[in-house]
């Protein structure tokens, strides 16, 4: 059969192949378009899901924020509630136990106590409560009281003796709660305070001391008023509980003057310091049983010329002790001992606390109480150190304090001559049981020549000597 030739000029077979290719191409394009559409849909779906997740996260964050906010509000509320509670509770408490802003002290005046009427010239002073009541103890001015009842005052700023016309007396030392009453000692409710300066300078003592130990003075204590007056019905005096009133000791009559001492150097300018006129002013016993108040700082600290020149701070002692020590060094050098210097003298309560704690820390394996006890044999317990008094000095010629100093020629000279200048070897080797402090050949204590000479000659330590001296003063 004869077929007409195709326009394309292709064979039927070629035509068929071409049509097949065309169909295939069309199908392929349709498939691609479908795939693209599917991808777009998927992308849109993903975007929608992500947006939804973002919203969910934001919602969660907001929810968390508000939860915390509410929690904080509740906590804040609780803090305010507790704080307010404490505040109002304390208000309530102070309402129940009020104390006045001020306390007025009345000296003398016309007033009645126990049915007796007393008339005296009146003096008056008003103090802040915090000044009138120190550490929970009501105080009064011993100086103002002495003025009122006519006690005579002798001694130094640090140690003052208040004497009645009858001779009875009390000796008080600033910073110490021990009072010497007619040669015997008692402990007051608080330490003696030194207040004011110049004309207003006064010693303040616990009011209970005046009330309990002063005869012939009427004491009335109200919340905001303290009334002190001479009681015309009783003679003025000082009492000791459980013992009869002791007679005053006339020291000048009982003990002769100390003979002059021949020195190599001219120490005449130092005589008044080596041998103080107020013989007992520097006899204060300071040890574990007789501690100084933590607040005590001597008011007359004086620089020591013979402080070791190795960069340490210039050491200080109380004026009389420092001057007497100067004489000690001048004579010591004149006698050929030239290499001794002062390593330590006055130490504050806080510095002594630091030294003690350092020592305690050297026994880490011991329980605290045992470590403290062990440390206390080497370093004085704060308050019990003589160094706080400004009356003692560590001096030697070794790199550091060592008992080997006790074997040196310098020590032999010092221990044999210290008393001439008013100093004693405070912690001798044979008295450690009594002093509670190990042998310290470098530690010297100023007591004044009178007592230093007696201590040196008797071989007693200060504890023994003071006990004996008090007993003899009492007879
Ligand atoms: Zn010392």
Domain boundaries, the chain: 102-248, 257-347+385-474
Angle at which helices 409-417 and 319-334 cross, to 10°: 130
Dist. CA 445 → ligand 1 center (Å): 9
**CB-CB contact of 169 with 152 (8 Å):** no
* Residues less than 5 Å from ion ligand 1, measured at CB: 394, 443
Q: Can you tell me the distance from the alpha carbon of 317 to that of 454, in angstroms, rounded to the nearest whole number?
A: 23
CB atoms within 10 A of CB 154: 14
Dist. CA 211 → ligand 1 center (Å): 39
Dist. CA 434 → ligand 1 center (Å): 17
| 431-458 tens-digit pLDDT | 999 998 889 999 999 999 999 999 999 9
257-347+385-474 fold:
Muramoyl-pentapeptide Carboxypeptidase; domain 2 (3.30.1380)
Q: Can you tell me the distance from the alpha carbon of 142 to that of 193, in angstroms, rounded to the nearest whole number?
A: 10
Dist. CA 349 → ligand 1 center (Å): 14
Give 127's strand partners: 103
Question: Does the structure show a pLDDT above 50 at 253?
Answer: no
**CB-CB contact of 292 with 159 (8 Å):** no
Tokens standing for residue 151: 């006690």
Dist. CA 314 → ligand 1 center (Å): 16
Q: Can you tell me the distance from the alpha carbon of 148 to that of 228, in angstroms, rounded to the nearest whole number?
A: 9
In the sheet with 137-141, reading across from the earlier edge strand, the strands are 133-134, 137-141, 202-206, 193-195
Tokens standing for residue 225: 């008023």
- Residues constituting the chain: 475
The confidence band for 245, taking pLDDT boundaries of 50, 70 and 90, is very low
> For the whole model, what pTM was predicted?
0.50
Helix (H, G, I), strand (E, B) or coil at 88: helix
Q: Which helix (H) or strand (E) holds 186?
A: strand 184-187
| 141-194 tens-digit pLDDT | 998 888 888 888 988 888 888 988 777 888 898 888 888 887 776 778 888 998
Residue 379's nearest CA partner among 413, 411, 344, 338 is 344
Which residues are annotated as catalytic? 440
Dist. CA 393 → ligand 1 center (Å): 6
CB atoms within 10 A of CB 165: 12
Across 81-95, 355-369, 410-424, least confident range: 81-95
Q: Can you tell me the distance from the alpha carbon of 191 to that of 145, in angstroms, rounded to the nearest whole number?
A: 17
- Quick one: pLDDT at residue 30? 93
102-248 fold:
Copper Amine Oxidase; Chain A, domain 1 (3.30.457)
**CB-CB contact of 408 with 397 (8 Å):** yes
């Amino acid at each position: 059969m004869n077929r007409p030739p195709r326009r394309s000029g292709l064979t039927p077979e070629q035509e068929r192949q071409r049509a097949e290719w065309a169909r295939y191409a069309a199908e392929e394009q349709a498939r691609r378009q479908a795939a693209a559409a599917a991808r777009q849909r998927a992308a849109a779906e993903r975007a929608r899901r992500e947006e939804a997740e973002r919203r969910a996260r934001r919602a969660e964050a907001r929810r968390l924020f508000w939860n915390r906010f509410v929690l904080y509000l509740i906590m804040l509320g609780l803090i305010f509630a507790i704080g307010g509670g404490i505040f109002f509770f304390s208000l309530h408490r102070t309402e129940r136990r009020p104390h006045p802003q001020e306390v007025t002290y009345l000296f003398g005046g016309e007033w009645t106590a126990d049915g007796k009427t007393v008339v005296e010239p009146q003096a008056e002073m008003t103090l802040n409560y915090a000044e009138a009541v120190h550490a929970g103890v009501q105080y009064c001015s011993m100086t103002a009281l002495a003025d009122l009842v006519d006690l005579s005052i002798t001694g130094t700023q640090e140690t003052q003796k208040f004497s009645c016309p009858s001779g009875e007396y009390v000796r008080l030392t600033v910073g110490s709660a021990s009072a010497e009453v007619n040669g015997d000692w008692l402990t007051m409710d608080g330490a003696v305070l030194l207040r004011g300066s110049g004309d207003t300078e006064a010693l303040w003592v616990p009011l209970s001391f005046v009330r309990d130990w002063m005869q012939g003075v009427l004491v009335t204590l109200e919340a905001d008023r303290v009334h002190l007056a001479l009681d015309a019905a009783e003679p003025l005096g000082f009492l000791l509980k459980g013992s009869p009133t002791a007679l005053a000791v006339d020291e000048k009559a009982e003990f002769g003057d100390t003979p002059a001492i021949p020195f190599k150097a001219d120490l005449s300018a130092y005589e008044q310091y080596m041998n103080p006129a107020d013989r007992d002013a520097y006899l204060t016993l300071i040890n574990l049983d007789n501690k100084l108040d933590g607040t005590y700082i001597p008011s007359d600290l004086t620089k020591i010329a013979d402080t070791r020149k190795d960069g340490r701070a210039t050491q200080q002692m109380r004026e009389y002790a420092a001057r007497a020590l100067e004489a000690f060094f001048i004579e010591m050098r004149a006698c050929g001992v030239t290499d001794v210097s002062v390593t330590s003298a006055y130490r504050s309560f806080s510095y002594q606390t630091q030294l003690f704690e350092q020592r305690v820390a050297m026994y880490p394996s011991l329980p605290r109480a045992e470590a403290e006890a062990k440390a206390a044999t080497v370093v004085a317990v704060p308050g019990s150190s003589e160094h706080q008094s400004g009356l003692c000095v560590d001096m030697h010629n070794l790199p550091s304090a060592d008992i080997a100093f006790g074997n040196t020629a310098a020590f032999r000279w010092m221990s044999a001559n210290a008393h001439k200048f008013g100093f004693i070897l405070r912690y001798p080797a044979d008295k450690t049981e009594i002093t509670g402090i190990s042998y310290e050949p470098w530690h010297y204590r100023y007591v004044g020549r009178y007592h230093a000479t007696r201590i040196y000659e008797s071989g007693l330590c200060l504890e023994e000597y003071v006990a004996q001296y008090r007993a003899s003063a009492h007879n």
